[in-house]
Each structure stands twice: as C-alpha cells, then as structure tokens.
Structure 1
Amino acid sequence: GTSGGVLAPLLMMGGALGGLESLVLPSEGTGFWALVSMGAILGGTMRSPFTGVIFMLELTHDVNMLLPLLVAVTMAHGFTVLFLRRSILTEKVARRGFHLSREYAVDPLEILFAKEVMRPNIVALPPTAPSALLVESLRVDPTKGPQRLFPVVDGSQRVLGVVTRVDLQKLVDDGGAGAGEKFPTIIRSTPTFAYPDEPLRVVVHRMAHSGLTRFPVVARSEGRELLGLIALDDLLQARSLNLDAERRRERVLRMRFPLPFSFFGRKSAVVTDAEEEDDGDQTEAQ
C-alpha cells in the first residue's frame, strides 16, 4: 500500500513553517501565514493543490483566504513537480519497484469488453469430424489469416474442448485418411474460456496467468455455447477502437466571419461537420 498517516504531520509542519514565516514576513493577521503554509505543504507534497485549498477553507470558512491559498499551493505544486520525482503518497510504492507515472488516463482494456473484439466467424469442429473436414479446416483464408485454435462443439454448439492448429496439422500429415478416427485423441477437454461481458483487462490477466494467447468465448450459461474466439492480436483492436472513438469525439468547429476586410474575411481552419458534407456534395456534383 501507499503511505498513510501523513495528513496530520503535514499540517503540523505547515503550521510550524508559517509560524516562522510570520516572524519575518509582513503581519496579515493571526494565523494567516500558518494557514497559507499548511495549504502549500499539503497541496505540494501530496500533489493535490485543490485538496489543499478546499481543506483549508473548510477548516476556517474564510473565503478571503482563497486567493492567497491558490497562489501558495500553485507555487508549491510547481516546485514539487519540477524538483521531486514523486509525491509522498507514491514514493513508498515506487521504492518497491512498481512503475508509476503522473498521467491519468482511461485504460482501453478497462472500458472494452471481449464481445467487442472477439471473432464471431470462426471454424468449429465436431468431435466426430471426418478427415476431409479436418483438411478443409486447415485452409487459410487470405483475408483473415490462419486460425490457430479450433473449438470442438457438439450439435448444440456447446464447447467440448479445443484443438490447436499445430496438433491438427500434425494429425492430418501423419494420419492421412484415418485422421478422423484419431481426432478425439488430440482434443484438449479442459480449455480456458473467456466470457463476452468480461473487460479485456480480465482476459489479459487470464492469458498471463495461463500462458495461453487464445481463448474460446462462451456464454455464461451452463451450456457454454460458443460465441467466438479471442486472441492476443484481437486485443490490439482495443487501442484502435479507443483511438477511433477519440477522433469521433473531438469535433472541430469551423467558423466563418463575414467581415469587410479581406484579411479578416479569410475562412477559419475549422468548419462544422454539416459544412464539410455540403462541400463534399458540391465537389461530387462538379
């Protein structure tokens, strides 16, 4: 865990520092410099400037202290960001070897689910697949690439196991026409599953724990109905989907100012989406 029990010591240190400052700085009233120093110490060392301001205002209910506190905590926060690598809350965690950064962003693996990146159109094999079907399943689709894992399902699409492409290729090469009879011997009956409503972070952790990079995606019902397949490559789509969503969300607004001067009458570099569509329609008409 992180460091705890730092609030009271920081406030006491800030109050003591303010008491010393009041001996040399102009007098602004009882407790003025102590309060400012308490907010600065709290906001700077914890890297939470607004917390320091609000905390001090809640203690005193003196709104007149808002401006001095804002100036003090801003200077303290800037000083600690420039000269200290970490805050007092993360220093203990960093000393244990964990990587920490100051940026706060939403992890795409937390907001996307397995059903959004899984492959629904895959080849599934029955447990009594003939040799011809096994050979046909090994053909590579140029648009999708080779399928590395083949779920084995029964007539109700219930997953009975999985077969890797390496094992299936070896069986077809060695077994020939009798590969269908030996097919049940290479079925792995205890596969690891993924579920459609799971965040991708859970799937990634399961891959790291199991050492596998491909899971069949099944429904959570007792029937374990096959829904698709998810692989490590599919997780890269999470970042692509997130970037695409960011591009769509960042709408740029273009404005035109009909001013009399030609210099000011130039079109701005930003237009509305409707104007973009109108310009595109005019181009097509020409």
Structure 2
Amino acid sequence: MPVSLILSLCLFKLLSWSISLGSGTSGGTLAPLLTIGGAIGALAGHAIEGVFPGLAINLPLAALVGMSALFAGASRAVLTSIVFALETTHQTNSLLPLLAACAGSYSISFLLMENTIMTEKIARRGTKTPESYESDWLEKWTVGEVATRSEVFLADTSTLPEVYQYLRQTTTKCQRFVVLDTDHHFRGIVSLSALITYPDQTAPLHVVMAAKQYPSISPTSSLKDAIELMTRKQVDMLTVVSADESTIRILDYTNLFSAYQTGLREYTHREKHISVRKSLSKRFAYAKKGKQTPWKSGALSGNE
C-alpha cells in the first residue's frame, strides 16, 4: 500500500471520526481507533525503515502493534487489545511487541488522561465514571471507631431545671447527652435542643425522652449500616450500645462527615497523578538559571 494512501486514510479517518463524535453521537469508537492506529503504526514503520534500513522492519507487524497500542491507550484495556490482535491475526510472534507497545501506551494514558475515550463524554455530562473498582469508605470503619464518648451522663428522674443547673456547673460544650436510670442502666440519649424546646420546662427527663426516641446500633456495625438506619428512622444521631452496655457512645452526622473527609484525603493522596507539565517546567527553570536540578545535584537526601 503506498505511503500516501496510508497517510490519507489516517488523516481523513481522524477528521471524519472527530466530526462524528463532536456532533453528539455516542458509539463508533472501536473501528476508527483500529483504523487510525494501524495507519499510524504503518507510517511509523515506514519512517523507521527509511532512517534505519538495516533493521528490516516488518510493516504488517508495525501496523498491528500501532492498532493495538492506540486502542490500549484510549480505552485502557491492555489485555483486551493484546488478545484481540492475537485472535484476529494468529500471529503469536507479535506477542512481545504487543506487550511492550500496549504497556507503554497505557502508562502514558494513565499519566496524562483523567478519563478514557469510553467515559470522557459521560464524565463531561457530570456523571461519575470510576476507572477502577473502589471500596466503599463507609464500610471500612465500624461505628465504634468513629462514635464519640459522652462526657455528660444524666439521670432520667431529673427535672429540666436540675439538668440546666448541672450543665452550668460542668461548663460542658456537649450538645447530646446519655441518660441513665437509677441502676445506671442505659435509657437513651437526648439533645440540648430537645430540652430547650420542650413545652413543659418542669417535666422530668424521662418524659422529655419519650417525645423523641433515637434507635441504637452495635459498635461492630459499619458506618454504611448506620447511615441506612438514620435514613429509615429520619434521625440525625444514634446510640452506640454494646450487648453488655459496657460501651455507650453517640454517633451523629459530624462523626460521619469526619470519617468521609478522612477517606477522601486518603483517596486523593493515593490517586494523585504525576504532573508532567510541572516537572518539565521545573527542569526548564533550572536550565535557564544554569543550575542542576535538585535530584541530580544531590541536594535531596534521606526523607527529603
């Protein structure tokens, strides 16, 4: 096939493909990728053969490698690209070139692209498209690890004026309190807003608690189970009580936000991509100043 024909096929196919996808249609990505990749591989083989004629480049193999490499980089389906090329051509001697080219193409795509060609348009519409399987952060932690201990314990026989006086003496900043009976058994929890807004300000505490009951959950349950329970019961906090009542804690929305923020920071730090542009700008800046980069001059060592 003449080089001019291969070049025309590559350019016009790329142009028509861009117009087709840019018009808003979905699909039609596989065949154009294979056509454009095969043409690029054949052109690269022709170029290398012209510069280094002694290498004896196999042009069909170069087209096959280019086809698979472009598809692997655009879709990040490395094994699919390799197996597809082998199954359609039965050229087992092309396995090593396919492995090297597809692995390199995938690495470049992973470093420079946030989404694949299959999910880019979906991501632009605002739909989250995870590139890999992710564990649910809310299933990693148990309720007992996140819930906070109550600093104030109130008796269920105390009246509201007695509770207010006790709270003024403790100068606590807690907004939610654990209520116990005369035998120090757990009765429930009550919030400061519920105490203040209760109509009868002379009522005992167990009467105030009866107006608003909060469900309890085991310390070994996951945060996801806690959120589902809070959603079903339409409450903003839960009591965390062990079977023997040795552990009594309170789980509210602030604990859930803190756990989610911790998981988000861990995920962002782990999934941070390499900034090639920032690395190159640093190299050029040091070159203009006539200095060596820190990693070459030995300025950084140890934990630095």
Q: TM-score range by the shorter chain?
A: 0.5 to 0.7
Q: Is the 8 A contact 1:108 1:238 kept in 2?
A: yes
Q: Residue in 2 aligned with 1:283?
A: none
Q: Is the 8 A contact 1:40 1:72 kept in 2?
A: yes
Work out the CA distance in 1 between the residues paired with 2:263 and 2:37. 51
Normalising by structure 2, we get a TM-score of 0.53
Q: Does 1:157 align with 2:181?
A: no
Q: Deviations over 1:133-188 (max 9, x none)?
A: 5235534756xx522223445557354x542212223559x63xx432x7504534
Work out the CA distance in 2 between the residues paired with 1:88 and 1:47. 9
2:108 pairs with 78, 95, 103, which one?
78
- Other structure's SS at 2:177 match: strand
Q: Residue in 2 aligned with 1:45?
A: 74
- Other structure's SS at 2:148 match: coil
1:98 pairs with 127, 138, 157, which one?
127
Q: Residue in 2 aligned with 1:3?
A: none
Q: Deviations over 1:47-89 (max 9, x none)?
A: 344664576578868475324542355346636864x663244
Work out the CA distance in 2 between the residues paired with 1:52 and 1:108. 32
Percent sequence identity is 22
2:219 pairs with 196, 203, 216, which one?
196
Q: In structure 2, do the counterparts of structure 1 residues 122 and 55 end up closer, same or farther at CA, with 3 Å as the change threshold? A: farther
Q: Is the 8 A contact 2:150 2:176 kept in 1?
A: no
Q: Residue in 2 aligned with 1:247?
A: none
Work out the CA distance in 1 between the residues paired with 2:121 and 2:148. 43
Q: Does 1:123 align with 2:144?
A: no
Q: In structure 2, do the counterparts of structure 1 residues 55 and 122 end up closer, same or farther at CA, with 3 Å as the change threshold? A: farther
Q: In structure 2, do the counterparts of structure 1 residues 226 and 158 end up closer, same or farther at CA, with 3 Å as the change threshold? A: farther
Any unmatched runs of 5+ in structure 1?
A: 1-5, 245-267, 272-286
Work out the CA distance in 1 between the residues paired with 2:63 and 2:98. 12
State the one-letter code of the partner of 2:76: R
Q: Does 1:179 align with 2:203?
A: yes
Q: Residue in 1 aligned with 2:16?
A: none
Work out the CA distance in 2 between the residues paired with 1:208 and 1:95. 31
Q: Deviations over 1:79-111 (max 9, x none)?
A: 6864x6632443464355334576987665442
Q: Is the 8 A contact 1:162 1:187 kept in 2?
A: no
Q: In structure 2, do the counterparts of structure 1 residues 148 and 56 end up closer, same or farther at CA, with 3 Å as the change threshold? A: farther
Normalising by structure 1, we get a TM-score of 0.55
Q: Residue in 1 aligned with 2:241?
A: 218
Q: Does 1:231 align with 2:252?
A: yes
TM-superposed deviation, 1:229 = 0.6
2:95 pairs with 53, 62, 65, which one?
65
Any unmatched runs of 5+ in structure 2?
A: 1-26, 47-55, 267-300
Q: Is the 8 A contact 1:126 1:153 kept in 2?
A: yes
**Structure with the largest fraction of helix:** 2
Q: Is the 8 A contact 1:14 1:37 kept in 2?
A: no
2:116 pairs with 74, 80, 87, which one?
87
Q: Does 1:169 align with 2:196?
A: yes
- Other structure's SS at 2:149 match: coil
TM-superposed deviation, 1:210 = 6.4
TM-superposed deviation, 1:119 = 2.0
Q: In structure 2, do the counterparts of structure 1 residues 270 and 16 end up closer, same or farther at CA, with 3 Å as the change threshold? A: closer
Q: Is the 8 A contact 1:194 1:203 kept in 2?
A: yes
